[in-house]
Amino acid sequence: MNNEIKAVIEKLRLQLNEHSYRYYVLDEPTISDAEYDKLYHELLNLEQNYPQFISKDSPTQRIGDKPLDGFSQVKHEIPMLSLGNVFTDDELIDFDRRLRDLAEINEIEYSAEPKLDGLAVSIVYQNGKLHQAATRGDGTVGEDITANIRTIKSIPLTLRGELIPAKLEIRGEVIMPRSGFTKYNQTAELLGEKTFANPRNAAAGSLRQLDPKQTAKRPLKFYAYSLGVVFENLEFTTHIETLNWIQSLGIPVNNLNQTVQGANGCQKFYEKIGKLRDSLDYDIDGVVYKVNDLALQQKLGFVTKSPRWATAHKFPAQEAVTVIDKIDVQVGRTGSITPVARLKPVVVGGVTVTNATLHNEDEIRRKDVRQGDSVFVRRAGDVIPEVVKVILSKRPKDSVEFQMPTHCPVCETELHKIEGEAVLRCPAGLYCDAQRKEAVKHFASRKAMDIEGLGDKLVEQMVDEGLIKTAADIFYLKQQDVSQLERMGEKSAQNLLQSIEKSKHTSLNKFIYALGIREVGEATALTLAQKLRNIQNLSKSSVEELKELPDIGPIVAERITQFFSEEHNLQVIQQLLDAGIYWDEIEVPDENTQTLAGKTVVLTGTLTQFTRATAKEKLLKLGAKVAGSVSKNTDYVIAGANAGSKLTKAESLGIEVKDEEWLMEL
């Protein structure tokens, strides 16, 4: 009987390990999380009833029960080195030339890898069982963090496969994914616990916990990038082969690693990963190039603290520390009041940043941001720079809490806070100059009426000069009014009037979108145009009628009826129509031609036949939803040239990948 139980327990462990491997390493789970949990609890139950069969490498035994008093020291048998750096193309070419000269060969093959921004750790397996894990420390001596490393679910407690060396040291990086980091900080804030400035600090803080129960709550991940000590001769000839083998043992290895040829190949990889950088769920601070041929690595050897055969190629930092000179508030198109930090200029991600959004009052309170504070500023891709965290130790003694204004800084109307909303609003609507400007900017913008040459600065100037008060006034501008504006000549005035004239021919959906009704984006505007066919129907629809339309909920319906209940909005619309704005009869898709009705599609890579915007428009017309990121709910991914992580993700989730031709045919 007992033997049977033991066999069941062992089988469950094997099954669970297999599923973990599929999930964490291959990224191809074959069972749901719920099914996994069920197996896990079966095992847990059996082990509770038959504690004599509990073993340290069981998936149930990741979390030790006793907090440590402190970390003991671990000496690295082989020192954990660091990497040299290159920052420019020239430095990269020099690096490669130096190696080619030393090796006396024409072209070197490199293993090119993202440089993960986390913490270097060493994990030793003895006879295939996780034995000890340590931080890098000073490279020679690190701290024993075995109990914490055991809590990271993607790190196997037992290695897979047959031929496992008696002793095997794996080195790699522990990181906290960005998604997990954001969630962690949100929860920590709610609980009044310590938050972290960035995922790297969060990973470091998590590994330094004395209580592994705490570490277990942190969403950490591990990627291996090299071997340390190995008892047994391995017969690999390249670094990439080694990585593939490590992966086959059940240890995650980054899937963006690849071999490249020469400095040119390195440069291309750098650019490719640079483009992917913002879409990855983990921070990277550059890429690493390593000579792929292990014999050549040996020949090239080391300089003092780093291998001669490898280097890091750094990206511009996405984060910097600077000082908030002042906190201002801005008034948005819908009257939302957004606090903005005016910063001492600082370079972040290769760009000089002077402003960072503080989102809203709650956010300022939560982060306790004040004028004069030293702060971490972060800028990822095209996203607006953000204040991530205050460095409290540097706060000036006389600092005071920031108070939001009670009145609109532009029109002086008393501000309102609507229940359930985080933002403060100026209720003056189009009577407020700031909102007037934003409304006109939106109206003229590319996705709306697309008035070429009527940019933000010009709109501001025109409103300030009293030339326009509403969007309709644009169409009643006279050449002499425009040409007298600063930095405007006869010629540019003429061009502007021409493009205003041209914009009169539009489409109903763009016109609806241009009105700037709150919550009515491009997709909603298209639905409204297709279903209601003209402005009269739209303006007369009740909340109940609107709610009947696809994808229109009670809030949107409410906003729409509210917009059309305001007399001055109706007046502006009438003036616009009187000015001669017109559109062609809207093409209403026949239900049968809505080939993609209810499907979710993601676009990625460079398209050649369409711009992103037209492709999106076509998809919407075919009834599809267009999403920005790939998930289980994606039905199709349309991949153009140089598609990156979205394509990889689609492939790993088994989502159908299509090309442009497919869209053309539809």
Residue 85 DSSP code: E
- 3-state DSSP percent of the chain in helix, strand and coil, to 5: 40, 20, 40
Question: Both tokens of residue 603?
Answer: 């676009």
Query: Quick one: which segment of 42-50, 58-66, 81-89, 476-484 binds ligand IVH (CB under 6 A)?
Result: 81-89
460 Cβ contact list (under 8 Å, min separation 6): 437
17 makes contact with ligand IVH (CB under 6 A): no
CB-CB contact of 132 with 301 (8 Å): no
**CA gap 338, 329 in Å, rounded:** 5
CB-CB contact of 120 with 179 (8 Å): no
Catalytic annotation, residues? 115
- What is the closest distance, in whole angstroms, from the C-beta atom of residue 649 to ligand IVH in the complex? 20
Between 75 and 407, whose beta carbon lies closer to ligand IVH? 75
- What is the closest distance, in whole angstroms, from the C-beta atom of residue 273 to ligand IVH in the complex? 11
Between 12 and 312, whose beta carbon lies closer to ligand IVH? 312
3 state SS of 421: coil
Length of the chain: 666
Between 142 and 385, whose beta carbon lies closer to ligand IVH? 142
Question: Which one among 13, 76, 115, 239 touches ligand IVH, defined by CB under 6 A?
Answer: 115
Between 307 and 385, whose beta carbon lies closer to ligand IVH? 307
Between 287 and 364, whose beta carbon lies closer to ligand IVH? 287
> Which DSSP string corresponds to 437-505?
HHHHHHHHSTTTT--TT--HHHHHHHHHTTS-SSGGGGGG--HHHHHTSTT--HHHHHHHHHHHHHHTE
CA distances from 505 to 471, 475, 616 (A): 16, 12, 21
Question: Which one among 45, 48, 82, 595 touches ligand IVH, defined by CB under 6 A?
Answer: 82
HSE (CB half, 13 Å, CA atoms) of 96?
A: 23
Query: Quick one: which segment of 110-118, 273-281, 354-362, 623-631 binds ligand IVH (CB under 6 A)?
Result: 110-118
Using only C-alpha atoms, the chain has a radius of gyration, in whole angstroms, of: 30
Between 246 and 356, whose beta carbon lies closer to ligand IVH? 246
3 state SS of 238: strand
HSE (CB half, 13 Å, CA atoms) of 78?
A: 19
Query: Quick one: which segment of 109-117, 146-154, 433-441, 449-457 binds ligand IVH (CB under 6 A)?
Result: 109-117
Residue 429 DSSP code: G
Between 175 and 637, whose beta carbon lies closer to ligand IVH? 175
CB-CB contact of 399 with 373 (8 Å): yes
Query: Quick one: which segment of 1-9, 274-282, 307-315, 569-577 binds ligand IVH (CB under 6 A)?
Result: 307-315
81 makes contact with ligand IVH (CB under 6 A): yes
Question: Which one among 9, 12, 74, 83 touches ligand IVH, defined by CB under 6 A?
Answer: 83
- What is the closest distance, in whole angstroms, from the C-beta atom of residue 255 to ligand IVH in the complex? 12
Question: Which one among 122, 151, 215, 226 touches ligand IVH, defined by CB under 6 A?
Answer: 226
- What is the closest distance, in whole angstroms, from the C-beta atom of residue 464 to ligand IVH in the complex? 51
Question: Both tokens of residue 652?
Answer: 């790993």
Angle ∠(409,412,415) on CA atoms, nearest 5: 85
Question: Which one among 113, 143, 293, 361 touches ligand IVH, defined by CB under 6 A?
Answer: 113
Question: Both tokens of residue 573?
Answer: 């619309």
CB-CB contact of 465 with 479 (8 Å): no
**CA gap 655, 625 in Å, rounded:** 16
**CA gap 417, 485 in Å, rounded:** 38
Total of residues contacting ligand IVH (CB under 6 A): 15
Question: Both tokens of residue 537?
Answer: 């129907």
Between 43 and 170, whose beta carbon lies closer to ligand IVH? 170
246 makes contact with ligand IVH (CB under 6 A): no
312 makes contact with ligand IVH (CB under 6 A): yes
- Strands (E) across 176-217 are located at none
Between 139 and 589, whose beta carbon lies closer to ligand IVH? 139
Q: Which residues pair with 561 in a beta bridge?
A: none
Question: Which one among 43, 120, 170, 552 touches ligand IVH, defined by CB under 6 A?
Answer: 120
**CA gap 586, 601 in Å, rounded:** 24
State the binding string over 269-298 for ligand IVH (x if CB under 6 A, else -). Answer: -------------------x----------
CA distances from 525 to 166, 575, 592, 603 (A): 65, 20, 21, 21
- What is the closest distance, in whole angstroms, from the C-beta atom of residue 286 to ligand IVH in the complex? 8
Query: Quick one: which segment of 6-14, 80-88, 413-421, 515-523 binds ligand IVH (CB under 6 A)?
Result: 80-88
Query: Quick one: which segment of 30-38, 79-87, 435-443, 565-573 binds ligand IVH (CB under 6 A)?
Result: 79-87
By CB under 6 A, the residues from 350 to 409 that bind ligand IVH are: none
3 state SS of 36: helix
CA end-to-end distance (rounded Å), the chain: 63
Query: Quick one: which segment of 20-28, 206-214, 305-313, 459-467 binds ligand IVH (CB under 6 A)?
Result: 305-313
CA distances from 325 to 141, 318, 355, 363, 391 (A): 43, 21, 10, 18, 15
Q: In what order do the strands lie in the sheet with 656-658?
A: 625-627, 600-604, 636-639, 656-658
Question: Which one among 71, 222, 225, 282 touches ligand IVH, defined by CB under 6 A?
Answer: 225
- What is the closest distance, in whole angstroms, from the C-beta atom of residue 139 to ligand IVH in the complex? 9
- Torsion angle, alpha carbons of 272, 273, 279, 284, to 10: -170
The residue number with the shortest CB distance to ligand IVH is 120
* Residue among 99, 303, 138, 119 at smallest CA distance from 225: 119
Between 113 and 293, whose beta carbon lies closer to ligand IVH? 113
- What is the closest distance, in whole angstroms, from the C-beta atom of residue 113 to ligand IVH in the complex? 4
- What is the closest distance, in whole angstroms, from the C-beta atom of residue 321 to ligand IVH in the complex? 21
CB-CB contact of 141 with 74 (8 Å): yes
Question: Which one among 47, 96, 173, 361 touches ligand IVH, defined by CB under 6 A?
Answer: 173
Between 113 and 522, whose beta carbon lies closer to ligand IVH? 113
- What is the closest distance, in whole angstroms, from the C-beta atom of residue 176 to ligand IVH in the complex? 14
**CA gap 415, 272 in Å, rounded:** 47
135 makes contact with ligand IVH (CB under 6 A): no
Between 117 and 617, whose beta carbon lies closer to ligand IVH? 117
Question: Both tokens of residue 635?
Answer: 């039905």
Which positions touch ligand IVH (CB under 6 A)? 81-83, 113, 115-116, 120, 136, 173, 225-226, 288, 307, 310, 312
